[in-house]
């Protein structure tokens, strides 16, 4: 099918504002009489609050002070379980837990005041590690520290061990990772007769609305949430904004004035969510000719002090843990546990980068054990059309993953380099290596999630043949405004400039679900396409003005033939998977331990590419975050506190660290995605970490089973090998 707009590189809708500095982010907004707000947080990981005192020469009477007693509704950040309070009343469960809120017009005085609130505690024993939490000798949440468990069972795993030619075991782990959007979290709240109004940096305006309805006991029409331009999010502004918006609103209610709360970098890094640390154990039965007989996986993640989204993150990590491989006998057991750290949360990939890292490291290990090349071993096991995934989802797309994988490897010269590098490495302290990962990522909500969301979008025809797209999908850099306009314009036969995408404001847009899970283009875009086709049928002449204003609203309907069993975790986990092979070439300096990525190929099949420049940019950005997770970004914990909560000591890749990232697409249009599109946003996060670590192993013959790998880790392993 030929398209006019879709597949072309139209200019990003809001690019003009962004390059001129006029885009309005929350910290750029100033309202009359506005106060600033700060949070007084716990300083211990777990305990009872005994006494709060206000010391020093601070004019406390000038301050608005809010504590848990000021909450008019429910003191819980309403999400999945109602376990997390907005403000701790009596008990704290992590070392950044909010206890008090302060507001004042003078930011500097406010900071002094915050430091002059003293809280005395009676400490309780705390838990900081996954194993400790699982052992449950100290119980800090529920009956056994367990937020959620899942089991996937397919075939007869137990019967296979005796038939296996090889049984390969491995244990892999990943640390926390900070989203590190360059704009920290921020919100402004006002309170008036019309209710509460929130403006801020966020992914999901309707999550914030729902949370504030419970906090204040207000109906939906009294809670208005408006998204400001959002300076990056990556999952880090999925659930946390509900907390911050609530805090700003509590101060606004008590002061009667607008209140702005914008975190500084240190507070944002220490107190807000990060990627869940994980541990994965694999035990795999393989035939003598390198076919997967049985896969047994145990996957666990550390959720921090409250449940938040951990169960959902666990779900995605669990479903992705066996990757795009064919195996008739599978058992996955997974668990998310509580520790006394700030809650971990959504971060691009949502559990899948952790479990796919483990799998793709393990696949290299199996290949080595079996005596096959890593690509040959994978090729013997990759899913083909008609095969089924771990949950029994039958792959219907006409995919050819073996060809996809070999195309990516050819692009980077994989085989030639596997032969050449060992020869060259023998003469140099700088050792080169090459590695790759083949993986998939499911787009949209898991299982029956999209059916429950019941997403709605509206199209509105206006004068002068202009159309407005109304959805709750937020623009946070990924290109929502642009691709939704392309889709609507394409289907209506209008030009790109005639389509306007409305800024999410709960008073104006319908609830199209949250901007998460790589669902915007694929799922919500499809609704926009459907609405546009319906509108076009009503307006054959395109003379909108003559017909007066026209609105078309459509709601999500599940595509036919989708079956998901939530109890057994079986069936169609996702509407569609995107597939990829990523390959990395690295140099390891055996003197300094430094690892440099010299070349990177990212080849993926993502359905129709709606916008080549934006899509390429999404992949490149994800790969860079993945390289960060592989080689640079290490959260250092001390008793539940992130101690390197600054950009100086938590290091993300700079322009000098990133290799040439070469992005290639294959396009197999997906019939239920907008114009054939599948999800793309999270996919690039899954591949870089295993690809880079596999390349390191190829370079120096040492396998690293934990990410990130820092120079000191390389040096330590090299030293250990010398001793041995």
Partner 1 sequence: MPKRTVSLVVNGRPQHVETHPMSRLLDVLREDLSLTGTKEGCGEGECGACSVLLNGQLVNSCLVPVGQAEGARICTIEGVGQHGLHPVQAAFISEGGAQCGICTPGMIMATIDLLARYPEPALEQIREGLAGNLCRCTGYMRIFSAVQKAAQAGP
Residues that bind partner 1 (CB under 8 A): 9, 11-12, 14-25, 27-28, 30, 179-184, 229-234, 264-265, 476-479, 613-614, 616-617, 620-625, 646-648, 652, 654-656, 658, 660-661
Residue 182, interface with ligand FES (CB under 6 A)?
Answer: yes
Helix-helix angle 688-700:711-723, to 10 degrees: 30
Partner interacting with residue 660 (select from partner 1, ligand FES, none; CB below 5-8 Å by kind): partner 1
Return the number of the residue (485 or 623) whose C-beta is nearest partner 1. 623
Site string for ligand FES, 561-600 (x = CB under 6 A): ----------------------------------------
Residue 681, interface with ligand FES (CB under 6 A)?
Answer: no
Q: What span, in angstroms and rounded, lies between the C-alpha atoms of 156 and 298?
A: 17
Partner interacting with residue 122 (select from partner 1, ligand FES, none; CB below 5-8 Å by kind): none
3-state secondary structure string, 382-404? ECECCCECCCCCECCCCCEHHHH
Nearest to 621 by CA among 678, 663, 676: 663
Q: How many CA atoms lie within 13 A of 360 on its CB side?
A: 31
Return the number of the residue (238 or 529) whose C-beta is nearest ligand FES. 238
Between strands 456-462 and 259-262, the pairing is unpaired
Beta carbon of residue 12, minimum distance to ligand FES (angstroms, whole number): 11
Q: What span, in angstroms and rounded, lies between the C-alpha atoms of 378 and 400?
A: 13
Return the number of the residue (230 or 310) whose C-beta is nearest ligand FES. 230
Backbone angles phi, psi at 239, to 5 degrees: -105, -30
Return the number of the residue (238 or 572) whose C-beta is nearest ligand FES. 238
Q: What span, in angstroms and rounded, lies between the C-alpha atoms of 385 and 402?
A: 12
End-to-end CA distance of the chain: 62
Beta carbon of residue 274, minimum distance to partner 1 (angstroms, whole number): 14
Beta carbon of residue 621, minimum distance to ligand FES (angstroms, whole number): 8
β-partners of residue 195 are 192
Partner interacting with residue 541 (select from partner 1, ligand FES, none; CB below 5-8 Å by kind): none
Q: What span, in angstroms and rounded, lies between the C-alpha atoms of 81 and 68?
A: 19
Residue 9, interface with ligand FES (CB under 6 A)?
Answer: no
Return the number of the residue (232 or 510) whose C-beta is nearest ligand FES. 232
Beta carbon of residue 265, minimum distance to partner 1 (angstroms, whole number): 4
Return the number of the residue (13 or 672) whose C-beta is nearest ligand FES. 13
Beta carbon of residue 646, minimum distance to ligand FES (angstroms, whole number): 11
**Count of beta carbons in the 10 Å neighbourhood of residue 28:** 12
Residue 628, interface with ligand FES (CB under 6 A)?
Answer: no
Beta carbon of residue 641, minimum distance to partner 1 (angstroms, whole number): 19
Partner interacting with residue 317 (select from ligand FES, partner 1, none; CB below 5-8 Å by kind): none
Residue 19, interface with ligand FES (CB under 6 A)?
Answer: no
Return the number of the residue (182 or 507) whose C-beta is nearest ligand FES. 182
Return the number of the residue (379 or 652) whose C-beta is nearest partner 1. 652
Q: How many CA atoms lie within 13 A of 326 on its CB side?
A: 18
Residue 232, interface with ligand FES (CB under 6 A)?
Answer: yes
Q: Sheet harboring 550-555: ordered strands across?
A: 499-501, 466-470, 456-462, 550-555
Q: Where would I find the beta strands (DSSP E) of 498-629?
A: 499-501, 550-555, 564-565, 570-571, 576-589, 595-605
Beta carbon of residue 262, minimum distance to ligand FES (angstroms, whole number): 13
Helix or strand holding residue 452 (H, E): helix 449-453
Helix or strand holding residue 169 (H, E): strand 166-174
β-partners of residue 437 are 582
Q: What span, in angstroms and rounded, lies between the C-alpha atoms of 513 and 34?
A: 31
Query: CA angle 352-353-356, nearest 5°?
Result: 75
Beta carbon of residue 622, minimum distance to partner 1 (angstroms, whole number): 7
Between strands 223-227 and 195-200, the pairing is parallel
Q: Which residue is nearest to ligand FES (CB)?
A: 182
Q: What span, in angstroms and rounded, lies between the C-alpha atoms of 533 and 528?
A: 9
Name every residue whose Cβ is closer than 8 Å to that of residue 106 and which is 6 or more positions away in sequence.
Answer: 36
Beta carbon of residue 476, minimum distance to ligand FES (angstroms, whole number): 9
Beta carbon of residue 179, minimum distance to partner 1 (angstroms, whole number): 8
Partner interacting with residue 12 (select from ligand FES, partner 1, none; CB below 5-8 Å by kind): partner 1
Nearest to 206 by CA among 446, 480, 472, 445: 472
Return the number of the residue (12 or 224) whose C-beta is nearest ligand FES. 12
Residue 479, interface with ligand FES (CB under 6 A)?
Answer: no
Return the number of the residue (180 or 692) whose C-beta is nearest ligand FES. 180
Member of 324, 353, 477, 708 binding ligand FES (CB under 6 A): 477
Return the number of the residue (334 or 618) whose C-beta is nearest ligand FES. 618
Beta carbon of residue 308, minimum distance to ligand FES (angstroms, whole number): 25
Between strands 35-41 and 98-104, the pairing is antiparallel
Partner interacting with residue 454 (select from ligand FES, partner 1, none; CB below 5-8 Å by kind): none
β-partners of residue 66 are 101
Residue 643, interface with ligand FES (CB under 6 A)?
Answer: no
Partner interacting with residue 624 (select from partner 1, ligand FES, none; CB below 5-8 Å by kind): partner 1
Name every residue whose Cβ is closer than 8 Å to that of residue 290 and which is 6 or more positions away in sequence.
Answer: 366, 367, 370, 372, 376, 377, 380, 381
β-partners of residue 431 are 588
Partner interacting with residue 314 (select from partner 1, ligand FES, none; CB below 5-8 Å by kind): none
Partner interacting with residue 89 (select from ligand FES, partner 1, none; CB below 5-8 Å by kind): none
Q: What span, in angstroms and rounded, lies between the C-alpha atoms of 470 and 7?
A: 22
Q: How many residues bind to ligand FES according to rule CB under 6 A?
A: 3
Return the number of the residue (142 or 232) whose C-beta is nearest ligand FES. 232
The footprint of ligand FES (CB under 6 A) covers 182, 232, 477
């Amino acid at each position: 099918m030929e398209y006019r707009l879709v597949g072309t590189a139209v200019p990003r809708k809001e690019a003009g504002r962004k390059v001129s500095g006029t885009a309005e982010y929350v910290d750029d907004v100033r309202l009359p009489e506005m106060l600033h707000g700060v949070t007084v947080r716990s300083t211990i990981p777990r305990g009872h609050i005994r006494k709060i005192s206000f010391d020093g020469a601070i004019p406390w009477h000038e301050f608005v002070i809010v504590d848990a007693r000021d909450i008019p509704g429910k003191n819980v950040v309403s999400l999945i379980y109602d376990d997390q309070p907005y403000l701790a009343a009596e008990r704290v469960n992590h070392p950044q837990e909010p206890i008090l809120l302060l507001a004042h017009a003078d930011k500097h005085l406010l900071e002094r005041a915050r430091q002059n609130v003293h809280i005395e505690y009676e400490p309780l024993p705390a838990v900081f590690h996954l194993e400790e939490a699982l052992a449950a000798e100290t119980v800090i949440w529920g009956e056994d520290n367990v937020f959620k468990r899942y089991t996937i069972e397919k075939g007869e795993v137990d019967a296979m061990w005796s038939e296996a030619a090889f049984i390969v075991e491995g244990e892999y782990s990943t640390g926390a990772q900070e989203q590190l959007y360059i704009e920290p979290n921020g919100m402004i709240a006002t309170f008036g007769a019309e209710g509460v109004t929130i403006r801020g940096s966020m992914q999901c305006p309707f999550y914030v609305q729902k949370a504030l309805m419970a906090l204040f006991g207000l109906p939906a029409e009294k809670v208005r949430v408006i998204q400001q331009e959002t300076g990056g999010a990556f999952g880090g502004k999925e659930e946390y904004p509900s907390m911050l918006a609530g805090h700003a609103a509590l101060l606004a209610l008590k002061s009667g004035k607008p209140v702005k709360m914008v975190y500084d970098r240190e507070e944002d890094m220490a107190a807000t969510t990060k990627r869940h640390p994980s541990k994965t154990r694999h035990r795999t039965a393989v035939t003598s000719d390198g076919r997967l007989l049985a896969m047994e996986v145990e996957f666990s993640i550390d959720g921090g002090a409250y449940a938040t989204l951990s169960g959902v993150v666990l779900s995605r990590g669990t479903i992705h843990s066996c990757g795009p491989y064919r195996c008739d006998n599978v058992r996955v057991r997974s668990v998310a546990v509580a520790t006394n750290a700030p809650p971990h949360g959504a971060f691009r990939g949502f559990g899948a980068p952790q479990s796919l890292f483990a799998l793709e490291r393990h696949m290299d290990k199996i290949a080595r054990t079996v005596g096959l090349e890593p690509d040959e071993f994978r090729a013997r096991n990759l899913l083909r059309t008609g095969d089924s995934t771990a949950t029994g989802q039958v792959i219907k797309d006409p995919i050819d993953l073996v060809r996809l994988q070999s195309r990516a490897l050819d692009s980077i010269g994989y085989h030639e380099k596997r032969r050449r590098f060992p020869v060259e490495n023998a003469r140099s302290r700088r050792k080169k290596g090459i590695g790759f990962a083949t993986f998939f990522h499911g787009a949209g909500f898991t299982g029956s999630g999209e059916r429950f969301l019941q997403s709605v979008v509206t199209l509105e025809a206006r004068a002068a043949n202009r159309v407005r797209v109304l959805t709750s999908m937020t623009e946070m850099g990924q290109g929502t405004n642009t691709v939704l306009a392309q889709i609507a314009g394409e289907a209506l036969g209008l030009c790109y400039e005639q389509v306007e995408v409305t800024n999410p404001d709960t008073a104006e847009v319908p609830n199209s679900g949250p901007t998460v899970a790589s669902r915007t283009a694929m799922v919500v875009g499809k609704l926009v396409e459907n609405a546009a086709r319906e509108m076009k049928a009503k307006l054959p002449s395109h003379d909108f003005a003559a017909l007066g204003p026209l609105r078309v609203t459509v709601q999500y309907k599940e595509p036919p033939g989708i079956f998901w069993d939530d109890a057994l975790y079986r069936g169609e986990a996702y509407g569609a998977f995107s597939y990829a092979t990523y390959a990395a070439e690295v140099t390891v300096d055996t003197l300094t331990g430094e690892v440099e990525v010299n070349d990177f190929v990212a080849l993926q099949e993502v359905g129709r590419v709606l916008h080549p420049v934006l899509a390429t940019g999404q992949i490149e950005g994800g790969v860079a975050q993945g390289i960060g997770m592989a080689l640079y970004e290490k959260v250092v914990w001390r008793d539940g506190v992130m101690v390197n909560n600054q950009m100086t000591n938590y290091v993300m890749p700079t322009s000098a660290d990133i290799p040439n990232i070469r992005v290639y697409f294959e396009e197999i249009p997906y019939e239920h995605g907008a114009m054939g599109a599948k999800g793309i946003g999270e996919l690039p996060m899954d591949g870089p970490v295993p690809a880079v670590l596999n390349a390191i192993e190829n370079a120096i013959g040492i396998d690293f089973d934990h990410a990130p790998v820092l120079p000191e880790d390389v040096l330590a392993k090299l030293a250990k090998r010398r001793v041995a």
